[in-house]
């Protein structure tokens, strides 16, 4: 059975127009061209390109993989041509700075496009995602000369970008890195080894611009002594042309569980005379600069969780509608039925669909917050959205990818035994999804970031979030719709539990950080599920009003209401019950002596 991808444009449009509110974004001067009509046209064209060109390479690329030949990484068949079409069509430049050849459209649109690209072919879209992060970092921290040199080609996609943090001895503990940078002739000579470098090399772009963390002589220990450098694969001449090969190379490619068509490289810098690099930002401020790129990547990785879940759902739904097996348990038919008629299969599909819609709403709402935090003319509004952006980014990265993997696993289950066979494609989604929970900061690190940095700092943002959640509960009660009221009955106590957990976490992180850390992952999970349930409830309220006003396809209110109610009844109770594990984890997590493990 063919594995076709179709961009879920109706669901995406609903979130963009009804939850995110493109009209409001277009009122901001920087985004005045981003009208709903234009956004819709862009999404339509992206869907066509993804469905016809990008997605058909996904399974074949997984089967063929990448290879290292004479120091050059060769991509699977069709990838180079696809990349060229992507660049020629102007897709990389959608949200780029207009001063450097970009189109200046909002990040909210770019996140929607990212969902399409990542669902179509995540291994290929990884290169596109990291280049956007490099653009952000150079845009924010680069000199005028660095911007003029690198941004036009990165924004156009002619050159690609990478992120070089991890070393054999320094994974999440970035402060332990040993790569060195020594000043010489107005530049820096970089020597060291980096591992796990996604798209560290490939044969698709003309040049690869590496952003490399290294330590300068006499720098302080730990993360306070790290600097960030721009290290191009091919040197850039004063006239912008490409020159000689820099002293860097791919030593090997990792053999991985998934992402077979995404080269994960071991990079060596300075084996001979030293790789030439250029300081980005201030010396010893490398982590602050790199976090610009990492925060970009963390939201994009959250979207990867969404995208792989959507792809797994579409595959499972197609199978469930075609696979005939078993009798109709209701007794309404004496014939064998397709498995979508079985309650447990329907439960799994509803679980997949409802979680996907919750994740999409969360990711898009954070993208909107990024746009408004950076471009809204009112300082107070910018601060309001900055708070939501900072608070919810680690939640989105962790919760979206945790559930993306779970949804991919459910997709395998819907297929039964055939899901375990590579031929159907369901297993690839499960394999590919697993890395999203690890890279760009493991999900445990996201949870620690949430409780150690974001909760203590973003008090106003948390208070506003809870206030909006309570307003939604009241609206559900006032509407008069029994299904909406049922959703509210689940949402209200969940919010109350979340508020209690938040108070406990804020108090405990300052007095007993180890106890707070023991419950951090469960707290992040709790906030993800309850925020997702709240956004689905908002969706249901909006959809029922659209139905009543005859402004959209008849029946969307019923659909969104049932999805919100299913999610609320299946997930909000367990999420609220996490209050106990969050507050009690300190009693047992660290209690057992190491020698007893």
- Active-site positions read 440
Residue where the block lists tokens 């490289």: 265
CB 103 within 8 A of CB 95: yes
**Strand pairing class (226-232; 234-236):** unpaired
Largest pairwise CA distance in the chain: 83
- Distance CA(315)–CA(360), nearest Å, equals 18
Q: Which of 390, 397, 410 is nearest to 346 (CA)?
A: 410
User: d(Cα 592, Cα 377) in Å, to the nearest integer?
Assistant: 54
Q: In the numeric block, which tokens belong to residue 190?
A: 């970089």
Question: Residue 280 and residue 138: Cα distance in Å, rounded?
Answer: 7
* Alpha helices (runs of H) in 54-163, residue ranges in sequence order: 58-64, 79-88, 107-120, 122-141, 144-156
Q: Determine contact, residues 536/564, Cβ cutoff 8 Å.
A: yes
Phi and psi for 196 in degrees, rounded to 5? 60, 40
Closest CA to 90 of 73, 74, 110, 75: 110
DSSP code of residue 212: E
What stretches of 386-427 adopt beta strand conformation (E)? none
3-state secondary structure at position 238:
coil
CA 67 to mean position of chain CA atoms: 27
Alpha carbon distance, N-terminus to C-terminus of the chain: 47
Both tokens of 215, joined, read: 């330590």
Q: What's the DSSP call for residue 324? A: E
Sign, CA dihedral 508-510-514-520, equals: positive
Can you read off the two tokens belonging to residue 519? Answer: 């419950």
Handedness of CA 19, 24, 25, 26 (dihedral sign): positive
Locate 269 and state its tokens. 């810098």
Cα 256 to its chain centre, rounded Å, is 20
CA 175/CA 372 separation, integer angstroms: 33
CA dihedral 465, 468, 473, 479 (to 10 degrees): -160
How far lies 65's CA from each of 50, 73, 123, 162, in Å?
20, 11, 10, 20
């Amino acid at each position: 059975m063919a594995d076709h991808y179709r961009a879920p444009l109706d669901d995406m449009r609903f979130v963009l127009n009804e939850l995110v509110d493109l009209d409001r974004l277009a009122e901001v001067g920087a985004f005045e061209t981003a009208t709903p009509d234009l956004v819709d046209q862009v999404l339509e064209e992206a869907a066509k390109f993804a469905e016809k060109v990008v997605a058909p390479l996904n399974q074949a690329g997984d089967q063929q993989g990448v290879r290292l030949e004479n120091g050059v990484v060769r991509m699977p068949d069709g990838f180079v041509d696809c990349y060229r079409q992507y660049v020629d069509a102007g897709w990389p430049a959608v949200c780029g700075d207009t001063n450097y050849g970009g189109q200046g459209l909002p990040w909210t649109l770019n996140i929607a496009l990212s969902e399409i690209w990542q669902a179509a072919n995540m291994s290929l879209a990884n290169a596109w995602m990291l280049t956007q992060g490099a653009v952000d970092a150079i845009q924010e921290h680069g000199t005028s000369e660095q911007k003029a040199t690198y941004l036009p080609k990165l924004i156009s996609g002619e050159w690609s970008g990478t992120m070089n943090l991890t070393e054999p001895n320094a994974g999440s503990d970035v402060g332990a890195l040993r790569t060195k940078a020594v000043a010489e002739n107005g530049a820096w000579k970089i020597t060291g080894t980096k591992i796990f470098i996604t798209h560290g090399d490939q044969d698709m772009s003309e040049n690869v611009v590496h952003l490399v963390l290294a330590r300068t002589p006499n720098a302080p220990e730990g993360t306070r002594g790290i600097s960030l450098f721009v290290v191009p694969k091919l040197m850039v001449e004063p006239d912008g042309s490409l020159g000689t090969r820099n002293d860097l190379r791919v030593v090997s490619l990792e053999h991985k569980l998934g992402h077979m068509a995404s080269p994960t490289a071991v990079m060596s810098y300075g084996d001979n005379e030293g790789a030439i690099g250029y300081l980005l930002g201030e010396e010893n401020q490398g982590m602050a600069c790199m976090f610009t790129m990492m925060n970009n990547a963390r939201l994009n990785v959250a979207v990867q969780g969404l995208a792989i879940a959507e792809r797994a759902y579409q595959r499972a739904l197609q199978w469930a509608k075609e696979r005939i097996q078993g009798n109709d348990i209701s007794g309404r038919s004496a014939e064998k039925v397709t498995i979508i008629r079985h309650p447990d299969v329907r439960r799994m599909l509803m679980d997949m669909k409802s979680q996907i819609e919750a994740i999409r709403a969360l990711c898009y709402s954070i993208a909107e917050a990024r746009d408004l935090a950076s471009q809204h003319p009112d300082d107070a509004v910018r601060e309001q959205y900055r708070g939501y952006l900072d608070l919810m980014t680690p939640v989105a990265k962790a919760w979206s990818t945790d559930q993306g993997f779970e949804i991919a696993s459910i997709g395998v289950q819907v297929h039964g035994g055939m899901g375990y066979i590579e031929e159907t494609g369901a297993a690839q989604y499960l394999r590919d999804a697993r890395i999203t929970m690890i890279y760009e900061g493991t999900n445990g690190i996201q949870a620690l970031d949430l409780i150690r940095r974001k909760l203590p700092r973003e008090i106003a943002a948390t208070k506003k979030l809870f206030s909006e959640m309570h307003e939604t509960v009241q609206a559900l009660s006032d509407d008069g719709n029994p299904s909406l009221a049922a959703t509210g009955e689940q949402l209200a106590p969940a919010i109350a539990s979340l508020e209690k957990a938040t108070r406990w976490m804020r108090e405990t992180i300052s007095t007993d950080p180890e106890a707070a850390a023991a419950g951090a992952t469960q707290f992040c999970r709790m906030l993800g599920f309850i925020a997702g349930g709240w956004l689905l409830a908002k969706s249901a309220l909006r959809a029922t009003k659209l139905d009543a006003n005859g402004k959209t396809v008849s029946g969307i209110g019923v659909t969104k209401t049932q999805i919100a109610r299913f999610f609320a009844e299946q997930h909000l109770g367990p999420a609220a019950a996490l209050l106990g594990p969050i507050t009690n984890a300190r009693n047992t997590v660290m209690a057992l002596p190491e020698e007893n493990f």
